């Protein structure tokens, strides 16, 4: 029975699901086109991506999806077998939703979403937290500086509280785990977008290099690579659409992802 992933390369948690499937060499059908970011085909009652259908089983939430696929397909590295390393991955993932996830809304969205001036639509009532966070970020006098301060706090916290035993990865060990994929989708995106200077942070600097060496890095991040420097070159609809298409095509080019029939 085939796996369908509803997601889009511009969506941080979707990128994690895509990257995890590629690392697990797991074939999947893309449930979206580049034009339709939030089409979940009713598989996620909350109306968000990513979500999956595996046969007649529907699942949403990046951490739950990757855990499920990892258990089903016996992915050893992304969820380490060592109990304490695995517990740290969970510690990161539980913290992520109310902290690291907000990096996107405070620093990326003012550069990527705000300039596009999407026509107002009824906000998703089940995304109250994200909507309010983003509107607050947009209304700052200098959204870039305000977002930068928030991301600095997050990066300092991770720099000092993760990277156990001087590992190149967040939770210790010698492999990128789900926590690294999730964090890279949020914090790593600033590297491509030139929105944050990581040089004062040796753990993050080491991590960024290590993550670039993880298989399928350029594929999973093709959207960000194409979007490029968003600090000095403000976003446009054409650029956003081109980056989305590049991201989708990169997935298809692996031979593991295919378009829905």
Ligand X SMILES: N[C@@H](CCC(=O)N[C@@H](CS)C(=O)NCC(=O)O)C(=O)O
Residues that bind ligand X (CB under 6 A): 11-13, 38, 47-50, 61-62, 97, 124, 127, 130
Q: What distance in Å separates the CA atoms of residue 97 and residue 186, rounded to the nearest whole number?
A: 11
Buried b / exposed e across 134-149, counting CB within 10 Å, b at 16+? beebeeeeebeebbbe
**What sign does the CA torsion over 220, 149, 170, 130 have?**
negative
For ligand X, the closer CB: 12 or 53: 12
Residue 97 CB, nearest approach to ligand X (Å): 6
- Least distance to ligand X from the beta carbon of 7, Å? 8
Q: Toward ligand X, which CB reaches closer, 33 or 127?
A: 127
Residue 2 and residue 260 in contact, taking contact as beta carbons nearer than 8 Å: no
Residue closer to ligand X by CB (options 193, 203) is 193
Question: 43 vs 168, which CB is nearer to ligand X?
Answer: 43
Q: Say if residues 254 and 131 touch (Cβ distance below 8 Å).
A: no
Q: How far is the CB of 50 from ligand X (least distance, A)?
A: 6
| Choice between 66 and 171, CB closer to ligand X | 66
CB of 205 to ligand X, least distance (A): 26
Q: Which of 178, 203, 181, 168 is nearest to 68 (CA)?
A: 178
Helices (H), 97-221: 102-103, 109-112, 128-138, 143-161, 178-183, 189-193, 202-212, 217-220
254, two tokens: 């692996």
């Amino acid at each position: 029975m085939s796996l369908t992933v509803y997601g889009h390369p511009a969506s941080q948690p979707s990128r994690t699901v895509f990257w995890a499937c590629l690392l697990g060499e797991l074939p999947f059908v893309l449930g979206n086109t580049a034009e339709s970011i939030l089409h979940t085909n009713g598989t996620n009652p909350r109306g968000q991506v990513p979500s999956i259908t595996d046969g007649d089983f529907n699942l949403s939430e990046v951490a739950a999806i990757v855990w499920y696929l990892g258990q089903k397909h016996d992915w050893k590295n992304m969820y380490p077998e060592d109990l304490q390393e695995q517990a740290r991955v969970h510690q990161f993932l539980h913290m992520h939703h109310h902290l690291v996830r907000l990096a996107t809304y405070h620093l990326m969205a003012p550069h990527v979403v705000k300039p596009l001036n999407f026509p107002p639509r009824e906000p998703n009532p089940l995304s109250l937290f994200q909507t309010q966070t983003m509107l607050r970020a947009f209304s700052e006098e200098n959204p870039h500086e305000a977002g930068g301060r928030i991301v600095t706090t997050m990066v300092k916290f991770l720099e000092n509280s993760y990277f156990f035993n001087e590992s190149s990865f967040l939770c210790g060990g010698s492999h990128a785990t789900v926590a690294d994929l999730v964090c890279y989708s949020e914090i790593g995106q600033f590297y491509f977008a030139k929105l944050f200077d990581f040089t004062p942070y040796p753990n993050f600097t080491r991590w960024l290099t290590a993550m670039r060496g993880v298989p399928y890095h350029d594929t999973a991040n093709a959207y960000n690579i194409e979007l490029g420097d968003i600090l000095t070159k403000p976003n446009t609809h054409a650029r956003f659409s081109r980056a989305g298409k590049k991201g989708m095509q990169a997935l298809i080019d692996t031979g593991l992802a295919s378009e829905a029939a």
